[in-house]
Protein backbone atom coordinates (compact mmCIF):
# COMPACT_ATOMS: atom_id res chain seq x y z
CA UNK A 1 0.00 0.00 0.00
CA UNK A 2 1.43 3.45 -0.87
CA UNK A 3 2.62 5.73 1.90
CA UNK A 4 0.37 8.56 2.96
CA UNK A 5 1.34 12.11 2.17
CA UNK A 6 2.96 12.90 5.49
CA UNK A 7 5.30 9.94 5.23
CA UNK A 8 6.30 10.80 1.70
CA UNK A 9 6.94 14.43 2.54
CA UNK A 10 9.11 13.42 5.47
CA UNK A 11 11.14 10.99 3.40
CA UNK A 12 11.49 13.58 0.64
CA UNK A 13 12.72 16.17 3.12
CA UNK A 14 15.37 13.85 4.51
CA UNK A 15 16.53 12.94 1.03
CA UNK A 16 16.67 16.59 0.01
CA UNK A 17 18.67 17.47 3.12
CA UNK A 18 21.14 14.66 2.45
CA UNK A 19 21.64 15.84 -1.11
CA UNK A 20 22.01 19.42 0.02
CA UNK A 21 24.66 18.53 2.59
CA UNK A 22 26.54 16.50 0.01
CA UNK A 23 26.47 19.47 -2.35
CA UNK A 24 27.69 21.86 0.32
CA UNK A 25 24.44 23.81 0.55
CA UNK A 26 23.55 25.36 3.91
CA UNK A 27 19.98 25.19 5.13
CA UNK A 28 18.47 27.53 7.72
CA UNK A 29 14.98 27.05 9.19
CA UNK A 30 14.09 24.75 6.34
CA UNK A 31 15.06 27.27 3.65
CA UNK A 32 18.10 26.75 1.48
CA UNK A 33 20.74 29.44 1.13
CA UNK A 34 21.98 27.79 -2.05
CA UNK A 35 20.06 26.53 -5.10
CA UNK A 36 16.68 24.99 -4.36
CA UNK A 37 16.29 21.32 -5.09
CA UNK A 38 13.31 20.25 -7.21
CA UNK A 39 10.42 18.67 -5.29
CA UNK A 40 10.15 14.87 -5.41
CA UNK A 41 8.24 13.56 -8.41
CA UNK A 42 5.02 11.90 -7.29
CA UNK A 43 1.25 12.03 -7.64
CA UNK A 44 -1.46 12.35 -5.06
CA UNK A 45 -5.21 12.13 -5.06
CA UNK A 46 -7.38 13.63 -2.31
CA UNK A 47 -11.10 12.93 -1.96
CA UNK A 48 -13.23 13.73 1.10
CA UNK A 49 -10.18 14.19 3.31
CA UNK A 50 -8.53 10.93 2.24
CA UNK A 51 -5.20 11.21 0.40
CA UNK A 52 -3.31 8.61 -1.60
CA UNK A 53 0.28 9.13 -2.76
CA UNK A 54 1.72 7.27 -5.74
CA UNK A 55 4.99 7.31 -7.57
CA UNK A 56 4.80 8.18 -11.27
CA UNK A 57 4.87 4.57 -12.45
CA UNK A 58 1.95 3.63 -10.21
CA UNK A 59 -0.03 6.69 -11.31
CA UNK A 60 0.47 5.88 -14.99
CA UNK A 61 -0.79 2.33 -14.43
CA UNK A 62 -3.79 3.48 -12.41
CA UNK A 63 -4.69 6.00 -15.11
CA UNK A 64 -4.81 3.31 -17.80
CA UNK A 65 -6.90 0.98 -15.63
CA UNK A 66 -9.42 3.76 -14.99
CA UNK A 67 -9.32 5.08 -18.55
CA UNK A 68 -10.21 1.70 -20.04
CA UNK A 69 -13.24 1.54 -17.74
CA UNK A 70 -14.33 5.04 -18.80
CA UNK A 71 -14.05 3.94 -22.42
CA UNK A 72 -16.27 0.93 -21.71
CA UNK A 73 -18.83 2.99 -19.81
CA UNK A 74 -18.26 1.08 -16.59
CA UNK A 75 -19.05 2.59 -13.18
CA UNK A 76 -16.47 3.87 -10.72
CA UNK A 77 -17.17 0.78 -8.60
CA UNK A 78 -15.62 -1.38 -11.32
CA UNK A 79 -12.52 0.81 -11.24
CA UNK A 80 -12.30 0.51 -7.45
CA UNK A 81 -12.36 -3.28 -7.74
CA UNK A 82 -9.77 -3.27 -10.54
CA UNK A 83 -7.42 -0.91 -8.73
CA UNK A 84 -7.66 -2.81 -5.43
CA UNK A 85 -6.80 -5.96 -7.36
CA UNK A 86 -3.82 -4.41 -9.15
CA UNK A 87 -2.58 -2.94 -5.87
CA UNK A 88 -2.56 -6.37 -4.26
CA UNK A 89 -1.23 -8.29 -7.26
CA UNK A 90 1.54 -5.97 -8.46
CA UNK A 91 1.54 -2.76 -6.42
CA UNK A 92 0.31 -1.07 -9.63
CA UNK A 93 3.50 -2.02 -11.48
CA UNK A 94 3.68 -3.82 -14.80
CA UNK A 95 5.99 -6.55 -13.51
CA UNK A 96 7.55 -9.23 -15.69
CA UNK A 97 7.48 -11.94 -13.01
CA UNK A 98 5.15 -13.58 -10.53
CA UNK A 99 3.94 -16.86 -9.11
CA UNK A 100 4.41 -19.57 -11.76
CA UNK A 101 3.63 -17.80 -15.07
CA UNK A 102 1.78 -14.81 -13.59
CA UNK A 103 2.67 -11.49 -15.23
CA UNK A 104 1.70 -7.85 -15.41
CA UNK A 105 -0.53 -5.52 -13.42
CA UNK A 106 -3.08 -8.19 -12.55
CA UNK A 107 -0.68 -11.16 -12.46
CA UNK A 108 -2.69 -12.84 -15.19
CA UNK A 109 -1.48 -16.29 -16.23
CA UNK A 110 -1.10 -17.16 -19.92
CA UNK A 111 -1.51 -20.83 -19.02
CA UNK A 112 -4.98 -20.05 -17.64
CA UNK A 113 -6.23 -18.44 -20.83
CA UNK A 114 -5.65 -14.77 -20.08
CA UNK A 115 -3.59 -14.24 -23.23
CA UNK A 116 0.02 -14.47 -24.32
CA UNK A 117 2.84 -13.28 -22.09
CA UNK A 118 3.21 -10.17 -24.22
CA UNK A 119 -0.51 -9.45 -24.10
CA UNK A 120 -0.93 -9.65 -20.33
CA UNK A 121 2.01 -7.29 -19.94
CA UNK A 122 0.21 -4.71 -22.07
CA UNK A 123 -1.64 -2.60 -19.44
CA UNK A 124 -4.48 -1.77 -21.83
CA UNK A 125 -5.02 -5.40 -22.77
CA UNK A 126 -4.70 -6.57 -19.15
CA UNK A 127 -7.25 -4.03 -17.90
CA UNK A 128 -9.67 -4.89 -20.71
CA UNK A 129 -9.45 -8.60 -19.93
CA UNK A 130 -9.96 -7.96 -16.22
CA UNK A 131 -13.13 -6.02 -16.94
CA UNK A 132 -14.27 -8.72 -19.39
CA UNK A 133 -14.20 -11.15 -16.48
CA UNK A 134 -15.60 -8.72 -13.91
CA UNK A 135 -18.75 -7.82 -15.86
CA UNK A 136 -19.60 -11.52 -16.04
CA UNK A 137 -19.78 -11.64 -12.23
CA UNK A 138 -23.43 -11.37 -11.28
CA UNK A 139 -24.22 -8.19 -9.31
CA UNK A 140 -20.52 -7.36 -8.96
CA UNK A 141 -21.34 -3.73 -8.14
CA UNK A 142 -23.14 -4.83 -4.96
CA UNK A 143 -20.52 -7.33 -3.84
CA UNK A 144 -17.76 -6.53 -1.38
CA UNK A 145 -14.60 -5.51 -3.22
CA UNK A 146 -12.71 -8.52 -1.94
CA UNK A 147 -15.47 -10.90 -3.09
CA UNK A 148 -15.80 -9.37 -6.55
CA UNK A 149 -12.02 -9.30 -7.04
CA UNK A 150 -11.60 -12.90 -6.00
CA UNK A 151 -14.31 -14.09 -8.36
CA UNK A 152 -12.10 -12.77 -11.15
CA UNK A 153 -8.70 -13.65 -9.75
CA UNK A 154 -9.33 -16.86 -7.75
CA UNK A 155 -6.62 -15.80 -5.33
CA UNK A 156 -5.01 -17.89 -2.62
CA UNK A 157 -5.36 -14.82 -0.36
CA UNK A 158 -8.75 -13.31 -1.26
CA UNK A 159 -9.13 -11.17 1.86
CA UNK A 160 -5.99 -9.20 0.98
CA UNK A 161 -7.86 -7.16 -1.65
CA UNK A 162 -9.79 -5.41 1.11
CA UNK A 163 -6.54 -3.88 2.39
CA UNK A 164 -6.45 -1.61 -0.65
CA UNK A 165 -10.11 -0.72 -0.98
CA UNK A 166 -9.82 2.75 0.58
CA UNK A 167 -6.96 3.88 -1.64
CA UNK A 168 -8.57 2.32 -4.70
CA UNK A 169 -11.84 4.17 -4.05
CA UNK A 170 -10.05 7.53 -3.84
CA UNK A 171 -8.18 6.92 -7.09
CA UNK A 172 -11.27 5.62 -8.85
CA UNK A 173 -13.24 8.72 -7.91
CA UNK A 174 -10.50 11.01 -9.25
CA UNK A 175 -9.56 9.11 -12.40
CA UNK A 176 -13.15 8.57 -13.55
CA UNK A 177 -13.80 12.31 -13.16
CA UNK A 178 -16.30 11.93 -10.31
CA UNK A 179 -14.03 14.14 -8.18
CA UNK A 180 -12.85 17.29 -9.95
CA UNK A 181 -9.21 18.33 -9.75
CA UNK A 182 -8.59 15.62 -7.17
CA UNK A 183 -5.47 14.09 -8.71
CA UNK A 184 -2.30 16.03 -9.40
CA UNK A 185 1.33 15.19 -10.01
CA UNK A 186 4.67 16.86 -9.40
CA UNK A 187 6.70 16.45 -12.57
CA UNK A 188 10.12 18.00 -13.04
CA UNK A 189 10.62 18.94 -16.68
CA UNK A 190 13.87 18.31 -18.51
CA UNK A 191 15.34 19.96 -21.60
CA UNK A 192 14.31 18.20 -24.79
CA UNK A 193 15.16 18.75 -28.42
CA UNK A 194 12.73 21.03 -30.23
CA UNK A 195 10.52 19.22 -32.77
CA UNK A 196 9.20 20.18 -36.17
CA UNK A 197 5.52 19.99 -37.07
CA UNK A 198 4.55 16.72 -38.77
CA UNK A 199 2.16 16.07 -41.65
CA UNK A 200 -0.99 16.29 -39.54
CA UNK A 201 0.10 19.55 -37.92
CA UNK A 202 1.39 18.10 -34.66
CA UNK A 203 4.91 17.59 -33.39
CA UNK A 204 5.87 13.96 -32.64
CA UNK A 205 5.38 14.49 -28.90
CA UNK A 206 1.94 16.01 -29.36
CA UNK A 207 0.99 13.23 -31.78
CA UNK A 208 2.11 10.69 -29.16
CA UNK A 209 -0.35 12.26 -26.70
CA UNK A 210 -3.17 12.07 -29.25
CA UNK A 211 -2.41 8.42 -29.97
CA UNK A 212 -2.15 7.56 -26.28
CA UNK A 213 -5.57 9.08 -25.60
CA UNK A 214 -7.07 7.14 -28.50
CA UNK A 215 -5.53 3.88 -27.29
CA UNK A 216 -7.03 4.32 -23.84
CA UNK A 217 -10.33 6.11 -24.46
CA UNK A 218 -11.09 5.13 -28.04
CA UNK A 219 -12.44 7.59 -30.56
CA UNK A 220 -12.38 11.18 -29.32
CA UNK A 221 -13.24 14.49 -30.97
CA UNK A 222 -10.00 16.47 -31.14
CA UNK A 223 -8.85 19.70 -32.75
CA UNK A 224 -6.56 22.70 -32.47
CA UNK A 225 -4.25 21.43 -35.22
CA UNK A 226 -4.33 20.99 -38.98
CA UNK A 227 -2.05 19.78 -41.78
CA UNK A 228 0.58 22.43 -42.35
CA UNK A 229 -0.08 24.01 -38.96
CA UNK A 230 -2.39 26.82 -37.87
CA UNK A 231 -1.71 30.52 -37.38
CA UNK A 232 -4.98 32.01 -36.13
CA UNK A 233 -7.77 31.39 -33.65
CA UNK A 234 -5.75 31.25 -30.44
CA UNK A 235 -4.11 33.75 -28.12
CA UNK A 236 -0.64 35.07 -28.89
CA UNK A 237 2.14 32.58 -28.11
CA UNK A 238 -0.23 29.61 -28.02
CA UNK A 239 1.30 26.16 -28.24
CA UNK A 240 -1.24 25.46 -30.99
CA UNK A 241 0.85 27.57 -33.37
CA UNK A 242 3.86 25.32 -32.71
CA UNK A 243 1.87 22.13 -33.27
CA UNK A 244 2.39 21.22 -29.61
CA UNK A 245 -1.23 21.28 -28.45
CA UNK A 246 -4.36 19.18 -28.78
CA UNK A 247 -7.90 20.08 -27.72
CA UNK A 248 -10.20 17.21 -26.73
CA UNK A 249 -13.83 18.27 -27.04
CA UNK A 250 -16.50 17.31 -24.51
CA UNK A 251 -19.49 18.98 -26.12
CA UNK A 252 -22.23 19.83 -25.43
CA UNK A 253 -21.54 21.02 -21.91
CA UNK A 254 -23.38 18.72 -19.51
CA UNK A 255 -22.80 17.00 -16.21
CA UNK A 256 -21.80 13.77 -17.94
CA UNK A 257 -19.41 15.50 -20.34
CA UNK A 258 -17.83 17.51 -17.55
CA UNK A 259 -17.19 14.27 -15.65
CA UNK A 260 -15.62 12.81 -18.79
CA UNK A 261 -13.54 15.94 -19.22
CA UNK A 262 -12.14 15.60 -15.72
CA UNK A 263 -11.40 11.92 -16.37
CA UNK A 264 -9.41 12.94 -19.45
CA UNK A 265 -7.68 15.85 -17.74
CA UNK A 266 -6.56 13.86 -14.70
CA UNK A 267 -5.49 10.94 -16.91
CA UNK A 268 -3.22 13.34 -18.80
CA UNK A 269 -1.70 14.67 -15.59
CA UNK A 270 -1.09 11.14 -14.32
CA UNK A 271 0.79 10.34 -17.54
CA UNK A 272 2.46 13.73 -17.94
CA UNK A 273 5.98 12.55 -17.24
CA UNK A 274 5.89 9.71 -19.74
CA UNK A 275 4.18 11.78 -22.45
CA UNK A 276 6.25 14.94 -21.78
CA UNK A 277 3.14 17.02 -21.14
CA UNK A 278 3.62 20.64 -20.15
CA UNK A 279 0.10 21.97 -19.54
CA UNK A 280 -3.43 20.68 -19.02
CA UNK A 281 -6.41 23.07 -18.83
CA UNK A 282 -10.04 22.24 -18.17
CA UNK A 283 -13.09 23.85 -16.62
CA UNK A 284 -11.47 26.97 -15.13
CA UNK A 285 -8.47 24.97 -13.85
CA UNK A 286 -4.89 24.59 -15.02
CA UNK A 287 -2.02 22.22 -14.21
CA UNK A 288 1.53 22.84 -15.37
CA UNK A 289 4.62 20.65 -15.20
CA UNK A 290 7.89 21.91 -13.76
CA UNK A 291 8.37 24.33 -10.89
CA UNK A 292 4.64 24.94 -10.33
CA UNK A 293 3.43 21.36 -10.65
CA UNK A 294 3.66 20.74 -6.92
CA UNK A 295 0.98 23.43 -6.53
CA UNK A 296 -1.47 21.06 -8.18
CA UNK A 297 -4.52 22.33 -10.04
CA UNK A 298 -4.83 26.12 -9.94
CA UNK A 299 -7.56 28.54 -10.94
CA UNK A 300 -7.34 29.41 -14.62
CA UNK A 301 -8.05 32.94 -15.80
CA UNK A 302 -9.03 33.03 -19.47
CA UNK A 303 -7.57 35.70 -21.75
CA UNK A 304 -9.45 38.98 -21.91
CA UNK A 305 -10.65 38.86 -25.49
CA UNK A 306 -13.82 38.43 -27.47
CA UNK A 307 -15.00 34.91 -28.11
CA UNK A 308 -17.11 32.06 -26.82
CA UNK A 309 -16.67 32.19 -23.06
CA UNK A 310 -17.32 28.46 -22.70
CA UNK A 311 -14.37 27.85 -25.00
CA UNK A 312 -12.13 30.49 -23.46
CA UNK A 313 -12.76 29.01 -20.01
CA UNK A 314 -12.17 25.49 -21.39
CA UNK A 315 -15.56 24.28 -20.24
CA UNK A 316 -16.20 22.41 -23.49
CA UNK A 317 -12.74 20.96 -24.12
CA UNK A 318 -9.59 19.77 -22.44
CA UNK A 319 -6.43 21.50 -23.64
CA UNK A 320 -3.12 19.65 -23.45
CA UNK A 321 0.27 20.75 -24.72
CA UNK A 322 3.70 19.18 -24.62
CA UNK A 323 7.12 20.47 -23.71
CA UNK A 324 8.62 22.75 -26.34
CA UNK A 325 12.32 22.15 -25.75
Q: What is the pLDDT of residues 256-298, one digit of tens each?
A: 999 999 999 999 999 999 999 999 999 999 999 998 898 999 9
User: Residue 181 and residue 46: Cα distance in Å, rounded?
Assistant: 9
What's the average model confidence in pLDDT over 141-166?
91
The verdict on whether omega for the bond into residue 252 sits within 30 degrees of 0, i.e. cis, is: yes
Q: Averaged over 243-248, what is the pLDDT? A: 98
**pLDDT at residue 10 greater than cutoff 90:** no
Determine the pLDDT at residue 36: 66
- How many residues would you count in the chain? 325
pLDDT at 27 over 50: no
Q: Provide, rounded to the nearest whole percent, the portion of the chain with pLDDT above 70.
A: 89
Lowest mean pLDDT among 2-6, 52-56, 268-272, 303-307: 2-6
Average pLDDT over residues 49-66: 98
| Mean pLDDT confidence for 62-76 | 98
Given this model, what pLDDT does residue 294 score?
A: 87
pLDDT value for 20: 39
The residues, any chain, with a CB within 8 Å of residue 235's CB and separated by 6 or more, are 303, 305
Least confident of 55-69, 137-151, 214-228, 291-305: 291-305
Cα gap 125→110, rounded to integer Å: 13
- What is the DSSP secondary-structure string of 113-139? TS--HHHHTSHHHHHHHHHHHHTTSTT
Residue 158: per-residue pLDDT? 77
Return d(Cα 243, Cα 324) in angstroms, integer: 10
pTM: 0.87
Domain boundaries, the chain: 5-40, 44-178, 193-322
pLDDT of the residue at 66: 98
pLDDT score of 94 more than 50: yes
CB 305 within 8 A of CB 314: no
Helix/strand/coil for 52 = strand
Contact 40, 186 (CB under 8 A): yes
CB atoms under 10 Å from CB of 3, counted, come to 15
* Dist CA 288 CA 194 (whole Å): 19
pLDDT surpasses 80 at 220? yes
Would you state the pLDDT for residue 221? 98
Of 124 and 15, which is predicted with more confidence?
Answer: 124
- Residues of the chain with pLDDT > 90, as a percent, come to 76
Residue 150 · residue 84 · CB < 8 Å: no
More confident residue, 64 or 39: 64
For the sheet containing 50-54, what is the strand order? 50-54, 42-47, 183-186
Average model confidence (pLDDT) for the chain? 89
**Predicted confidence (pLDDT) per residue in 121-150, tens digit:** 999 999 999 999 999 999 999 999 999 999
Distance set, CA 314 to CA 173, 235, 280, 308 (Å):
22, 13, 10, 10
CA distance 80 to 141: 10
Residue 303's pLDDT is 81
Tell me if residue 143 falls in helix, strand or coil.
coil
Best CA proximity match to 281, nearest among 242, 229, 232, 235: 235
Amino acid sequence: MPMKRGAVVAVGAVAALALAVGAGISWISGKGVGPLLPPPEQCQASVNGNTVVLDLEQAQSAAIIAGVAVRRGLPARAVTIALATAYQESDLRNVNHGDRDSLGLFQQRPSQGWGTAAQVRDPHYAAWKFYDALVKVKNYERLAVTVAADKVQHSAFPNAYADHEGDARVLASALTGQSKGALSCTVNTASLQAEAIGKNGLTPRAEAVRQDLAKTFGRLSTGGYAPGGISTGHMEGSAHYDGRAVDIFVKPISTANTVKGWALAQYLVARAEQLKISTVIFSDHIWTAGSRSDNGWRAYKPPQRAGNQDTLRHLDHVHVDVIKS
